Amino acid sequence: MKHSHLALIGGFLLFVILAISWCGRKLPTEVTGSPTPAQTPSPSASAALSPSPSASAAVAQATTPLPSQTPSSEFQKVASKVGPAVILVTIFDASGQLLRTGTGFFISEDGRFVTNSQIVEGGAHAVTKSADGKIRNVTGVLAASPALDLALLKAETKTGVPFLPLSKISEPENGTPVAVIGSPLSRREEPLTIATISARRSDQGGDRFEISAPILRNAAGTPVV
């Protein structure tokens, strides 16, 4: 697996406002924020997954941890819709030994997904597992941006996968409620954390959003909706 970097959550947070009503198939995807050209990963890792150019995304740094709110019934419904598209990503080295596991989420029906590049870094092989128990081989890294710590990969699928169409909403206001939704298969007792947008920052890398809830270490790679 080629070297790449991607911190959605856990140091950096990929902020994705998803139109839940769009959650389905054959819809165009966009990443929120000001797009920036992707940077290809360094050639130091093995070649099981080979990158192709261009990836961009908006990221945010977590704010000083504050107590998260109790999930409302509305957010519970959102989580139930988003959950099927959230996956566990398991990374192995060239000898087949387990390196690490993390979270990701499908963004297209053909198996493309986003995850944290710190999760895939140094790996030679990878598989994904969805809430329905299906395990899919990861075929390659399609794009990566070390500056944003994000990577786009692809998993094998013959029948398509449930996915999250990325919203065209690019300027959520401070105070907008959001939810961090982890995989139902993760070790977290509660895969849903809710918070609010507390700040927005812009730089050469794009737009960055801060949220009011602490970002747990094992939440790396999860979508924020």
Q: At 62, which CATH number?
A: 2.40.10.10
In a domain, 136, yes or no: yes
Domain range for 183 is: 13-219
In a domain, 7, yes or no: no
What is the rounded average pLDDT of the residues 11-35?
A: 34
Q: What is the pLDDT of residues 63-111, one digit of tens each?
A: 334 344 455 778 888 888 898 999 999 999 999 999 998 899 999 999 9
Q: How far apart are CA 127 and CA 105, in angstroms?
A: 13
Q: What is the pLDDT of residues 134-186, one digit of tens each?
A: 999 999 889 887 777 788 999 999 999 999 987 766 677 888 888 888 887 76
In a domain, 8, yes or no: no
Helix (H) or strand (E) holding 107: none
Model pTM score:
0.68
> For residue 84, how many other CB atoms are within 10 A of its CB?
18
In a domain, 97, yes or no: yes
Q: What is the count of structural domains for the chain?
A: 1
DSSP-based three-state secondary structure for 75: helix
In a domain, 225, yes or no: no
| Residue scoring higher pLDDT (206 or 115) | 115
Contact 63, 199 (CB under 8 A): yes
Q: What is the pLDDT of residues 106-131, one digit of tens each?
A: 999 999 999 988 888 888 999 999 98
Contact 13, 149 (CB under 8 A): no
Give the DSSP letter of residue 200.
E
Q: Residue 85: left (phi > 0), alpha (psi -120 to 50), or beta?
A: alpha
